[in-house]
Structure 1
């Protein structure tokens, strides 16, 4: 094995996400402690497609295709009003979620050659992760999120664009954005 092969780094990965800064006052501190992506600089978000494409392959043509997809979808409002769980994740659920689900279906159909990672699950569950890889204190985190929602009320959000987020050595950053239609 050559030194170059032994010490090569993986390609920077990208994901497509709706950034949700409106959620930061409610759960930003929890995410900073309990969501590894937050510690790497990725703010509150709803993942639409991951992985997307390795960064060097995100060409102007790919971005044009992405903008064509997002132009078919109107900007939309949603609320974060529910707390849900997966076995090791606590999350906030967007309501209504149908516009997000339609956007995901269109994005996945428009980029069939993107890499796949991990298990494939039936049914997409739109969510904003608050705590990941947690097994202990799961119920306490759920109770904290529910208590905060009860005290502050649901979080009103607006999706205006899809962000291409890149994870490189320094952490996550916005690589590009594709606006949703303002029709």
Structure 2
């Protein structure tokens, strides 16, 4: 969800994710070693929106609206068959990715002041991060191992709200898809 920029692990920071527990047996060891968000308590996931609202703005009313927005979307299955790369980053590619894109669009339409990744990217590409800030040799080693362990199929039925408590990411709420 978050990179290793110091500001991204601030107390009160929040994000919306889709947990992918089916991927944990395949990716956990690599993520624990190579992804700072995993070490900070974030499970294997595809980010819906990060950063989201400051924790001080996530009250009962905000959660009700999040639940309403998320609840307009159907549950779906996704499959991770191969890896992708950004500079210094290795990730698994969800197929299809359209349901993730629609969730992100719906939340950002409702909260336009919270653009995905702070507006740093022209296009948001749904992905499950394995490694961040690594050189190509490390990424190649991880990718070679993962290729032999894919595909992973996952059922997506909810979106979770995580909040950083100053030390770790904690689940604050879960919102069901229909």
Q: Flag whether TM exceeds 0.5 (same fold).
A: yes
Is this contact kept in 2: 1:92–1:128, CA < 8 A?
Answer: yes
Q: 1:116 to 1:26 in 2, by over 3 A?
A: closer
Match of 1:177?
A: 174
Pick one of 150, 156, 160 that aligns with 1:159.
Answer: 156
What is the CA–CA distance in structure 2 between the aligned matches of 1:49 and 1:122, rounded to whole Å?
14
Distance 1:87 1:130 in 2: 13
RMSD (Å), alpha carbons: 1.7
Query: What is the number of equivalent residue pairs in this alignment?
Result: 169
CA distance in 2, matches of 1:159, 1:92: 16
Q: Which runs of 5+ in 2 are unaligned?
A: 1-9
Deviations 1:96-134 (A, max 9, x none): 111111111111111113377555212221100011111
Q: Which of 1 and 2 has greater Rg?
A: 1
Q: Match of 1:148, SS?
A: coil
Q: Decide whether the 8 Å contact of 1:75 with 1:180 is kept in 2.
A: yes
Q: For 1:19-168, list aligned pairs within 5 A.
A: 19-114=19-114, 118-137=118-137, 138-149=139-150, 154-168=151-165
Deviation at 1:167, TM superposition (A): 1.0
Alignment of 1:2-21 (within 5 A): 10-21=10-21
- Residues 1:118 and 1:180: Cα distance change in structure 2 (over 3 Å): closer
Contact kept, 8 Å, 1:11 with 1:54, in 2: the verdict is no
Q: Name the CA shift for 1:11/1:29 in 2 (closer, same or farther; >3 Å).
A: closer
Cα pair distance change 1:157/1:116, threshold 3 Å:
closer
TM-score under structure 1 normalisation?
Answer: 0.86
- TM-score normalized with structure 2 length: 0.89
